[in-house]
Structure 1
Amino acid sequence: MNIAILHYHLKPGGVFQVIANQMQSLKSILEADQQCQVVILHGQSQEQVSELQWPESSQLHVSTQAIAGLGYDQRSESEPNVSELADRLLNALRANRFVPDNTVIHVHNHSLGKNVSLPGALNILAREGYPLLLQIHDFVEDFRVEQYQHLRAMLGIRPHALGQLLYPQAPHIHYAVLNERDHRILSAGGVPAERLHVLTNPIVSPGKLPESLSIREEMELERGIPTDAPLVIYPVRGIRRKNLGEFLLWGTLFKSRASFGTTLAPDNEAEIPSYKRWKLLAQKLDLPCHFELGDSFSFKQNLAAADAVITTSVAEGFGMVFLESQLIGQRLLGRDLPEITTEFSKNGINLDLLYQVLTIPVEVVDKDRLIESITTAYSKLVQILSGKSHNEQSARSSLDQLLKPGTIDFGILTPDLQEEVILQVHNDQETVARILELNPVLEKGLFPQDAQAATRQAVASNSVAIKNYYDPTSIGRKLHFIYRNLIQSPRETAVSCLDCSETILESFLSLERFRPVRSMS
């Protein structure tokens, strides 16, 4: 069996880690007489990935190959190069003797708008008879405005036609999604059940962590992080949906009692202004929030140094941090995402130190300006994504009802309003006390005190559940099964469109799901 894996890059984190974990999963299940050749096609230079280590065995052989034009689009580009990219991919496949009869092309996030040539190039590969497994980690329709605009502008098509292009249909084109929510969305959009798979991410333990004290001492020396207060690590790249304003709010609420750190800066130009905004605000207010710890300390070192892990993200595809934190024995603080974590709960994973809402008194912000700013931002995004006007009065009424209890979720605020709240908290101890009173789980999670033993027991129980449900071996068997089915699938030279692609877009566009920080800087 030959597997060609396609992704734009192999930079640390995110999809790269998923690919590495999937390779580990395959390695764990291949029998002695089974051979699997894997080539990972990517858009970086080969020199940039030459030192990467992949799980291999006498049955599993992994190599990488750079493909010009497979990386992220440069915004200056004016025309997609579909046929050129398809030719390069076909040449790479043929050079590796990967023919349609014994090959599966496994593509990660093909529809995300990072490369406008890729969807069309994949259609050409499908017409050549290559089976495709299109694994969707994130949907461009899920308020990813820049990517959506980029796709439409470059391809010159309306939303309905765009959906048809992004989700090609044929017996030898299958889809993999990360959870039941995404399965329901694609199923409602018209993807047949036999071609649609829930393929959860395998969770691979990072192994034994280094000793904590020496790392904390080094952090104190290099970054001024004191060793005598809890350190809370947010192990992410600081893109907008990670909601760094809320991370700063934690630092402001507990500024004399704990330290907070993030690991990586964004590498996407569109994300830089927002990241700089929060980094500069933390410096201006002298908050105990430390950025880019991953530049000086490894992933394992950061986790070992942490007294707790935090997430303030407002949107995730799978939510690795919810599970990885438990597997390494760390309690997890911060924001719950029921769209993602409901399945974890069903599988016996207890994340009761998280909150679904970080409650803020409405009087901390101007109510009328809050309603107006959120309504305007939401209506603008709906117009961009769907091409349809939205009833602003309806949105205003919904927000007004939401504010009736006299509180608002910090995660719903625009970045400007979030900054205003942070400044108010920084300058007024009464506001600090009020927010902590409204959100007792913050203090309970950060300073467990008498509940520490119970917290350790819950984390240990979660670790067992994760090994039962997200074990690399069981997921490796499922992945191998999907690959075998695809290789045996009938081929059709005609590739059709998804009939109900607009349903996918509509699944994401409710006001209740809208979080301005995802698209505003």
Structure 2
Amino acid sequence: MNELRLVVVHYHLLPGGVTSVIRDGLAALALYGGWDRVVATILAGRSSGVASFLEQTSSIWDGGLAINVQTWPVLDYRSDPWPSQLEFEAEAIRLAQQLTAACNAIDADVLWVHNPTLGKNPLVTEAVSQLPQRAPGLRILFHIHDFAECGRLDNLRTLRQCCGRGGVRTPFPAAPGLSVITLTTADRNRLTRAGYPESNVFSVPDPVPMPRSVRPFSPHERAGVARRIAAWGRGHAYRFEPGGKWLVAPLRTIRRKNVLELALLLRLLGDGWRLLITLDCNSDPERPYAEMVKECLRREDLPAVLGFGPDLIGEAISFDPLLASADAIGTTSVLEGFGLTFVEAGLRRRPLLGRDLRDVSGDLAGLPRQGLYGALCVPLEERDRVKTLNMYREKVTRTAEELEITPAHRDRAMDRMESTFENNLIDFSLLDLASQARAVHRLADPAARDEVLSANPDVVAALEGIEAAPSELDQELLANCVGPERFAHRFREVLQSPPGVSRDTSEVSQHLVEQFFHPPYLRLLFDAGDDWRLWERELPRAAARRSPPPHPTPTVTVNTTRERFAGIRVVLWDVYGTLLRQTSRGPDPQSFLDCLAAAGLDITGPQGNAAEVFHSIIREVHVAARVRGLRQPEVLIEQIWQQLAERILPGQWMTRDQARYAAARYELTVHPTQPMPGSSESIIGLHQLGIGQGIISNSQFYTPPILREALGRETWALLDPDLLFWSYEYGVAKPDPAFFTRARTVLTGRGVQPHQVLMVGDDRENDAAPACAIGWRTLLFIDEEDSEAARQEDETEAVHAEPDAVCHSLAALPSWLGTIARGSAGSSDRGASMIEAPQPEDLQPPSRAN
């Protein structure tokens, strides 16, 4: 029997482009490759998606295709570095041996590896690069869907720095028997220009199957589908009205898709059009971008929905008729490996509307181009033009340094960028995300819409061109370019080609970086939302500043009998003023504006004093909550920042991610913290005594990560996660009894009685009084570096609640409680006890995260 035996390697089989190529590619080989049978062992890094993959494959193809899937966790994504180059290379050798054994087990003809150079797991890259020497008779295919060198700096950094200062030396090896497959001719040309041998690289288009049906919905079916989508939209705060024309965008909401340009097109199309975007994002790095897009659609009240696909497509709505019913299919992506949306429109004979990516579309004969344009320019104010150009100057300089770009390439990119911003008409895709949202907002004005149309004759022609659907001849030409039969024939040609040559290709990756180092691949859009998460990376630097050593003679002053502290099982800590020492510059309107600007807002001409407006919003929220019966309500600080932006910057708004960035930036700059002396020592010492520990704190979302980094992650892990009570999670703050009652309920459910709980805090009113009221023991901590006058003033104004004890050094607490627990306190009289805090090695705080 004439069989093709393959081992296929990918990081996962989750739904997506690469998984579709594996699935449809194997089916194409079985049907059109000329073999009687195709036998494939698929090695995936995780089990998720495998069942669905097998179900789809077995339900479509039968007889000529046999598939066995194995899960190898070592193949899954990994960005954590290896301890040393030696250990990395040893693991790569082991993986190469395992892959060789897997190929030998089925007597494989081909090892088909997908995206091995992408930087998702450097171990895979290194291991498969060794296989030409280990298995000289095996044909190895590197199938390149995406390049780490093309704007994926984190991936490239992972490849190059995966083990200390070292990494994968040659991600694109060239050897006899190893062939590289690219998706387009343009990508093949990039590789050869970078120094990869021409005889070893082939372009093979993705195997896109013909749709099973190109029949659109009947008018009755379309009306029903529109009602379903409208109902889904109402449930997700979108406005989508049945009727009208459909601009369908079958894409995921990620940065390179440039999705807000679809909203701009919707404005330009005018009344009567609806926008349907099928998928939300599916990864944390893309989430801030996707939230901004969704918020823009809602705030601008556009007739659009985003993300309905997983809930409706497949069950309530069939995908093929949905695309076939589109009045136009939208594609505004600025970076694609293959351009599936182009193909889906052409195969269904639907007009395309959007950006023409020549690197992709150049291979697609029969593609309907009437609705495609090269750029969509919008006018910028002079200050915005200068601001955006400066952002690009900074990015070019920073990226060139990080990627070790030669001065000549850097200067060439800078010159191109300068010329791009010579006038105030700028391509929409070159704006930062916040500026894109403002551009969409401006086009609500008919005069602004007319100005954009007059500046973009190609876009006007594209809007008019979508009235003409592609012909059957166009559809046939396109199917011949990308169909399963074409894929199978090209794949067989690759296998039958000469084995290729060896060459030193260690510089290919850097040459690719230089090719991609020019404006289209340096868009601010590719970084959109990253800055809004910067506070998460700044926290270690902000919180790890070393604090002074504990006081040499710590004291605990006891205001009651010592036996009152016997049997303590749980200590609940306050945070600010107890575990963390915090300073403050005081309210400053400019600091608020600086943080709003850092989050991407235009702070020109603010209306009102930002500090006063900020605090007035908090007072309003408190008053409204007290009407509902809360004594001391807690706000969500990100919501306060969102309201601040809307009040002082009319027409602007922030997403939750932007607001969190602004709030955290303000907290870290205006209210910086450092670990309280003795805090880590005390937590470690109490843990060694077997005392459980938790937190009860007036706090915001940034408090837990600030405290975690200040204490050190090992010390943080000693706190019981079920005993962490943060005011922002409950909507109520200290000293409200409701907050303490919640904690008491949890503790009682675990068998801890009130007299077995010790509250440690620095505030008589917020900590001691409410804790005493529910029967807890109380210890007031006084930071001796606080102003004594300020302390006396606080105590004068506080509700009178004498704590059970007063502590001047946290380091004294474990020794003191340990002495009481051992019954060797010496006296039950009230009075001061002077205790030397022990400092053995095991009580030293762990090293802080940097």
Query: TM-score band (shorter)?
Result: 0.7 to 0.9
User: Distance between the aligned counterparts of 2:305 and 2:97, measured in 1?
Assistant: 45
Aligned to 1:169: 174
Q: How far does residue 47 in structure 1 lie from its aligned partner after superposition?
A: 6.6
Change (3 A) 1:154 1:500: closer
- Alignment partner, residue 240 of structure 1: 255
- What is the deviation of 1:93? 6.3
| Residues 393/82 of structure 1: CA separation in 2 closer, same or farther (3 Å cut) | closer
Structure with more contact order per residue of length (Cα contacts < 8 Å, sep ≥ 6): 1
Aligned pairs for 1:35-54 (under 5 A) are: 35-45=37-47, 48-50=50-52, 51-54=54-57
Query: Alpha-carbon deviations, 1:205-264, whole Å to 9, x = none?
Result: 121156521322322333253232112121112221111222232244457432212222
SS in 2 for 1:4: strand
Name the structure 1 match of 2:70: 65
Distance 2:80 2:280 in 1: 20
Residue from 472, 477, 484 that aligns with 2:484 = 472
Question: Residue in 2 aligned with 1:417?
Answer: 435
- Is contact 2:88–2:163 with CA below 8 Å preserved after alignment? no
Say whether residues 1:131 and 2:123 are aligned partners.
no
**Residue 220 to residue 280, structure 1, CA distance change in 2 (3 Å):** closer
| Residue in structure 2 matched with residue 328 of structure 1 by the alignment | 348
Measure, in 2, the Cα distance between the counterparts of 1:304 and 1:92.
43
Are 1:265 and 2:268 counterparts? no
Asked whether 1:463 is paired with 2:468, we answer no
The gaps in structure 2 that reach 5 residues or longer are: 235-239, 314-318, 530-850
Alpha carbons 2:385, 2:424 under 8 Å: kept = no
Q: AA paired with 1:5?
A: V
Instruction: Tell me the distance in 1 between the aligned counterparts of 2:182 and 2:412.
Output: 33
- After superposition, the Cα gap between the structure-2 partners of 1:364 and 1:444, relative to the gap in structure 1 and judged at 3 Å, is farther
Q: 1:255 to 1:283 in 2, by over 3 A?
A: farther
Would you say the 8 A contact 1:365–1:420 is kept in 2? no
Aligned pairs for 1:91-490 (under 5 A) are: 91=98, 94=101, 97-98=104-105, 102-129=108-135, 130-157=138-165, 164-209=169-214, 211-212=216-217, 213=222, 214-224=224-234, 225-254=240-269, 256-298=271-313, 299-300=319-320, 302-344=322-364, 347-363=365-381, 366-386=384-404, 398-404=416-422, 406-426=424-444, 428-440=445-457, 442=459, 445=462, 452=467, 455-456=468-469, 458-485=470-497, 489=499
| SS of aligned partner of 1:357 | coil
Q: Which of 19, 22, 32 in structure 2 is aligned with 1:29?
A: 32
Work out the CA distance in 2 between the residues paired with 1:77 and 1:52.
37
Alignment check: 8 A CA contact 2:216 2:322 kept: no
Structure 1 unaligned segments of length 5 or more: list them. Answer: none
What do residues 170-189 of structure 1 show as CA deviations (whole Å, max 9, x unaligned)? 10211111222211221122
**Alpha-carbon shift at residue 373 of structure 1 (Å):** 1.5
Amino acid at match of 1:10: L
Secondary structure of 2:443's counterpart equals: helix
Structure 1 residues 170 and 142, CA gap change in structure 2 (3 angstroms): same
Mean CA deviation greater in 507-516 or 142-151: 507-516
Rate the CA distance shift 1:254–1:485 in 2: closer, same or farther, 3 A.
closer
1:106, distance to aligned residue in structure 2 (A): 0.8
Structure 1 distance, partners of 2:500, 2:356, is 42
Q: Distance in 1 between matches of 2:418 and 2:196?
A: 38
CA distance in 2, matches of 1:374, 1:58: 56
TM-fit CA distance, 1:139: 1.0
- The normalised TM-score by structure 2 is 0.55
* Cα distance in structure 1, aligned partners of 2:301 and 2:30: 48
- Contact 2:210-2:479 at 8 Å conserved across structures: no
Q: Aligned equivalents of 1:504 and 1:30: distance in 2?
A: 33
**Structure-2 change in CA distance of 1:330 and 1:358 (3 Å):** same
One-letter identity of the residue aligned with 2:367: I
How far off is 1:135 after superposition? 1.1
Q: Which amino acid aligns with 2:37?
A: Q
Give me the whole-angstrom Cα distance separating, in 1, the residues matched to 2:414 and 2:82: 39
In 2: Cα distance, 1:297 partner to 1:444 partner: 34
Counterpart secondary structure, 1:482 = helix
CA distance in 2, matches of 1:118, 1:338: 32
Identify the range of structure 1 (174-183 vs 86-95) with the bigger mean alpha-carbon deviation: 86-95
> Which 10-residue stretch deviates more, 430-439 or 106-115?
430-439
1:16–1:359 distance in 2 versus 1, CA, 3 Å: same
Q: State the 1:89 CA deviation.
A: 6.9
Partners of 1:331 and 1:208 in 2: CA distance: 17
2:200–2:500 Cα contact (<8 Å) kept: no
How many angstroms does 1:404 deviate by? 4.2
CA distance 1:424–1:491, shift in 2 (3 Å): closer
Amino acid in structure 2 at the alignment position of 1:220: A
TM superposition shift of 1:199: 1.1
CA contact (8 A) 1:70 1:85 kept: no
Q: Secondary structure at the match of 1:411?
A: helix
Work out whether 1:17 is the aligned partner of 2:8. Answer: no
The answer for the alignment partner of 2:571 in structure 1 is: none
> Partner amino acid for 1:382?
A
Q: 1:520/1:378 Cα in 2 relative to 1: closer, same or farther (>3 Å)?
A: farther
CA displacement, residues 435-464 of structure 1 (integer Å, 9 cap, x when unaligned): 12333555665566xx73xx12x3433212
2:412 and 2:103 map into 1 onto residues whose CA distance is 57
Distance 1:77 1:513 in 2: 30
Separation in structure 2 between the aligned mates of residue 256 and residue 367 of structure 1, nearest angstrom: 30
Q: Which letter maps to 1:153?
A: Q
Distance 2:216 2:343 in 1: 22
Tell me, in whole angstroms, the C-alpha distance in 1 between the residues paired with 2:74 and 2:189: 33
- Match of 1:166, SS state, is coil
> Residue deviations 1:95-136, cap 9 Å, x none?
67546x643111111111111211112124333214310011
Read off the aligned partner of 1:323 and give its amino acid letter: V
- Aligned pair count? 504
Letter in 1 for 2:17: G
Higher mean C-alpha deviation, range 328-337 or range 376-385: 376-385
For the Cα contact (< 8 Å) 1:365–1:421, is it kept in 2? Answer: no
Change (3 A) 1:378 1:234: farther
Following superposition, the deviation at residue 3 of structure 1 comes to 0.8
Q: Counterparts of 1:20 and 1:317 in 2: how far apart (Å)?
A: 18
Deviation at 1:279, TM superposition (A): 1.6
- Within 2, Cα distance between the matches of 1:253 and 1:198? 37
Q: For 1:471, give the aligned amino acid.
A: G
1:376-432 per-position Cα deviation (integer Å, ceiling 9, x unaligned): 223222222235568988766544433445421111112232223223223x33111
- Cα 1:288–1:390 change in 2 (3 A) is farther
Distance 1:308 1:512 in 2: 26
Classify 1:503/1:466 alpha carbon distance in 2 versus 1 (closer, same or farther; 3 Å).
Answer: same
Greater C-alpha radius of gyration: 2
In structure 2, the CA distance between the partners of 1:280 and 1:46, relative to structure 1 (3 Å rule), is closer
State the shift of 1:197 in Å.
Answer: 0.9
Aligned residues of 1:30 and 1:59 also touching (Cα < 8 A):
no
Identity of aligned residues (%): 24
Q: 1:356 to 1:211 in 2, by over 3 A?
A: closer
> Normalized against structure 1, the TM-score is what?
0.86
Q: Describe how 1:491-502 pairs up with structure 2 within 5 A.
A: 497-502=505-510
Moved more, 132-141 or 376-385: 376-385
